[in-house]
Amino acid sequence: MADALAMDKVDAGYGGVQVLRGFSMDLRAGEVLCLLGRNGAGKTTALKTIMGLVRPTAGTVRLGAVELSALPAHEVPKAGVAYVPQGRRLFAELSVAENVEIGLNARKKGNDVRESVLDLFPILRERWRQRSGTLSGGEQQMLAMARALCLEPSVLLLDEPTEGLMPSMIARIRETVASLKARGVSTILVEQRVDAVLSVADRVAFVENGRNRETVEVSRLRDEPGLVKRYVGVG
């Protein structure tokens, strides 16, 4: 499969603190790649670097032929990358409808895109006029994903989408990631829950000290549970 997105020897950090050190990674078209690692390993920084929120001091980030690291942050979504950050970050004062509308307007998408996105999250139709800050955690996560999908991205970045959700919602989010994969969306998933990873991911990249130590097929992870223990500390 061709690479949808590639990070090549990227150094990045915050002020004087370097977080990513020669970080390399490739995301194949149509796959779900999971970044696993301990807290502070650099997973979220890798996503922020892709989005241009953290500027790399060395290396490149490419989406096909487009060098994302050369674009201003607001141009990255237009190139086809959508990001759902940790903690949802909705526009809490706006309604569900207005949140979705802002997502649609960003790339001037029409009602067909809205309907297609709402088909993935039918509960949002019932909450359409409700202020988004009053939704449950799971519904907020769905809205955050719906808003990102309004951009019709080719690559979706999800940062701990199941954090703090109840099991039924986690299952729902997992199903959504699987149906997005079926639609051909390539996804990078940052997760702490290994069980969630095994059920949806194709490959897993182990992140440690700002480096991608190893990228393996999920099938190998099932055969060698010691791998997870080595990099994440839990089996």
Partner 1 sequence: MSERARIAALHLAVIALLFAAQFVLPAYHHGIVSRVMVLAVFAIGYNLVFGYAGMLSLGHAMFFAAGMYGAGLPVYHGGWGIGPAFLFGIACGAVLAAGIGLLALRTSGVAFMIVTMMFGQVAYLLALWFGDWTRGEEGLTIAQDLRVVGPLDLTDPTTRYFVALALFSAALLASLALVRSRFGRTLVAIRENEERTRMLGYDTFRTKLAALTVSGALCAAAGAAYALLFGYMGAGFANVPYSILPLLWVLVGGAATVIGPFVGTLAMFYLTDLSNDLLNRNFPDWDISALGIVGLALVLLILFFPKGVMGTVRARWLPWLP
* Helix, strand or coil, per DSSP, at residue 188: strand
CB of 85 to partner 1, least distance (A): 7
Rank residues 72 and 233 by Cβ distance to partner 1 and give the closer one.
Answer: 72
CB contact set of 182 (below 8 Å; sequence gap of 6+): none
Is residue 83 at the binding interface for partner 1, with CB under 8 A as the rule? yes
Q: Which of residues 96-135 bind partner 1 (CB under 8 A)?
A: 98, 101-103, 105-107
Q: Which of residues 140-169 bind partner 1 (CB under 8 A)?
A: 147-148, 151
Number of residues forming the site for partner 1 (CB under 8 A): 27
CB 195 within 8 A of CB 172: no
CB 207 within 8 A of CB 46: yes
Distance CA 56, CA 36 (A): 21
Q: Which of 209, 120, 211, 196 is nearest to 162 (CA)?
A: 196
Rank residues 107 and 213 by Cβ distance to partner 1 and give the closer one.
Answer: 107
- Among 58, 94, 120, 171, which residue interacts with partner 1 (rule: CB under 8 A)? 94
Distance CA 93, CA 111 (A): 23
Is residue 53 at the binding interface for partner 1, with CB under 8 A as the rule? yes
Rank residues 105 and 199 by Cβ distance to partner 1 and give the closer one.
Answer: 105
Is residue 13 at the binding interface for partner 1, with CB under 8 A as the rule? no
CB 93 within 8 A of CB 133: yes
CB of 92 to partner 1, least distance (A): 6
- Among 51, 61, 158, 207, which residue interacts with partner 1 (rule: CB under 8 A)? 51
Distance CA 92, CA 101 (A): 14
- Among 77, 138, 161, 210, which residue interacts with partner 1 (rule: CB under 8 A)? 77
Q: Which of residues 216-235 bind partner 1 (CB under 8 A)?
A: none
Q: Where are the alpha helices (DSSP H) in 59-204?
A: 76-79, 96-106, 111-120, 123-126, 137-149, 167-182, 194-200
Rank residues 127 and 174 by Cβ distance to partner 1 and give the closer one.
Answer: 127
| Positions that interact with partner 1 (CB under 8 A) | 51, 53, 72-78, 83, 85, 89-94, 98, 101-103, 105-107, 147-148, 151
